[in-house]
Structure 1
């Protein structure tokens, strides 16, 4: 690898962007990992469920499919993402009862104790203060209601053939996300985050993805079309921030793509947490 460069990391923004390519990647990820991530999450008909940060609706489809009859409110900051989410759900689950709402996670327009359950997937990783976000959600969650949180952890990625260049490319994404105020390693922190936010009965468990040529659907859907595509998507930002030279980046991406080849393997861990809003109310954070 070449010598380290002086860096100029940008300090704001959603690191993955809002392109059509990113929307497709999110859809591929959700569909490929639906069983892994949504197993064990099922809400009774009539339940009031809030999905925070629904984005383009990639997870929303699987939420309403796995819990028919729920009354779901899906919230996001982006009008464009909400429009795409609405269209996605209409195409895949036309009978679902979904209310779409443009709102800020930190200023939700709902009365106290409105919801029975809250679902948060791949949102905390982009927030500078995840404890504040989780604590604030307790206001709209009824006492005794549950929150489900799913996050990844880029530090859990290892692969064959091993490559220092590929690992450096992944670290570029981690650094860019940190500079934007997020944390690409947040999965390992879910238990202490939920506890610090005042939830009780916190349970967190790993959901591991392992892909090799005997599992071609995971090689395509996760290794190539989700993880490698995600790293590829920050090329211009990584080069502009001078985190890596163009030569090292190209070497790293070539090596990363090899993990989806006939001699490649890939490992990654998501973390899924379930917790309860205390019946005694406790102290909701600001």
Structure 2
């Protein structure tokens, strides 16, 4: 799988992924629970940030979680004993599964449609897939700042340069439909944070979204997408949204679909 994880694998990114998963657990995992004994495959599990919540919601399912990074898998194994963690490239996966869970993976792939078409072959007839992705174009905030927007746009450009798509959330329906899945349903899962929701201000606006943008600053400046002063101003303005009268909005998209009982599209 020819892909590059634009956020890197350093310790701060692992912490950010954990903060994000824990803060958004109810938002992203509500409605997802798998029956006892069902065979569930989590694709692109990383450090296990989402795996924790899959286990909590479906404690009696048989969960296998795969990732391309052995370093990330080592952290996941320490964090969540009892899960079958395996190193595997998405396109090397085989077997037959009852359910697939794919969270924040397609945004990093150069051909997400091809990936979904392959994942479909892993599902038993009637099996389901759940896909969760964000869309950085859905971020809007107060106080308004062109500098903050420019910093976010740098992240989107860098992700595109790495072969991904930071705006992929809006594409989930056509991607799944074109890959041959049936019954595709997509719903927005919106985060809105202001001072009346301090947990979201800290856990999402500051420690998830702003930290994600801030983490690509050195690369954005080195590639000439923005200068040092512009970057510093953009990040400073993003942090302004976490203060007393700041607000922040972002939309994730959660899609579910299935393979038809006859196995055809």
* Structure 1 length-normalised TM: 0.91
Counterpart selection for 1:46 from 12, 34, 37? 37
Aligned positions of 1:80-95 closer than 5 A: 80-90=71-81
Q: Match for residue 76 of structure 1?
A: 67
Question: Does the Cα contact within 8 Å between 1:51 and 1:75 map onto a contact in 2?
Answer: yes
State the distance in 2 between where 1:60 and 1:100 align. 10
Question: Does the Cα contact within 8 Å between 1:12 and 1:179 map onto a contact in 2?
Answer: no
State the distance in 2 between where 1:12 and 1:167 align. 26
Aligned positions of 1:240-279 closer than 5 A: 240-279=222-261
Q: Match for residue 174 of structure 2?
A: 192
Which structure 1 residue ranges, 4+ long, deviate > 4 Å from structure 2? none
Computed over aligned residues only, the root mean square deviation of the Cα atoms, in angstroms, reads 1.1
Deviations 1:210-258 (A, max 9, x none): 0000000000000000000000000111011100011110011000100
Q: Match for residue 89 of structure 2?
A: 104
* Structure 2 length-normalised TM: 0.98
Deviations 1:65-123 (A, max 9, x none): 00111100100001110010111113xxxxxx421110000111x32xx2100000000
Question: Does the Cα contact within 8 Å between 2:3 and 2:108 map onto a contact in 1?
Answer: no
State the distance in 2 between where 1:18 and 1:154 align. 21
Q: Match for residue 4 of structure 1?
A: none
Q: Match for residue 167 of structure 1?
A: 149
Structure 1: any 5+ residue segments left out of the alignment?
A: 1-10, 91-96
Q: Match for residue 47 of structure 2?
A: 56
State the distance in 2 between where 1:195 and 1:202 align. 7
Structure 2: any 5+ residue segments left out of the alignment?
A: none
